[in-house]
Structure 1
Amino acid sequence: MTIVKKYRIDLLIQKYELFTMKPNESLYCMSGRFSSIVNELKNLCRKFESEDITRKVLRSLTKKWSPKVTVMEESRDLTSLSYQELIGALKDHDLVLHKEEAEPSKIRVWLCKHQQVKRLILILRTRRSCLLDV
């Protein structure tokens, strides 16, 4: 493993550990940012247990999500809850709370797409460097 790859893993682990939802960030953008970090770590051969990821997401949510987090922790078995199921449940709850805001604004959609493009570029660069390391 090269020094650059080790440095990249350390940087991503730090991002993972310090990850929190931004104050006015949508759940869609937050889940995209988090998925990007986890996927990049997977590409670099660093994996996390599903339960750890689920608990990390629940801890990372803003205070507005506290009631939903409490309900989920008390009513669900977090050891068997996948990341996709968790995000799905949170998105469903978000839609119920904000029916009038169910359609994200054009700016928010653009920002999420912009972040996705940036993530894709990073993933491609990471894969390219992994192939060069072999």
Structure 2
Amino acid sequence: MFRLSEIAIDTAALRAQLARADAGACVTFEGWVRDRNGGKAVRGLAYQSYAELAEREGRRIVEEARERFAIAAALCVHRVGELAVGELAVWVGVSAGHRDAAFAACRYIIDEVKRRVPIWKNERYADGASGWLHPDDTPVA
């Protein structure tokens, strides 16, 4: 349901796991490493995590989505380690009987993962500096 990955995320394999005969909708979210943040040029980043706690909390979030929304299946994978600009950092997929539930559950999962899962981001900037960011992508003072 939720896992961390040190390697590239295989979106096709994940999407295939969402297929269900009772599902008429599939919604996915992909979060990529962008080249700018807060007006600064970004050349890459590193994600770090307390893996055991992150995976437990991530599974809890996906289970909450299954309980709150009428969905058939949900998955979330978040990268850890060094990522370059353009790489896929997080993937969420939800299948459901209808699109409304799939969209709502997908949004719930990514928002709660960003808010609650202990994954920390350190951006590396083009000027050689680096900085830790809060989940809302603001620099830590």
TM-score, normalised by the number of residues in structure 2:
0.29
Larger Rg: 1
TM-score, normalised by the number of residues in structure 1:
0.30
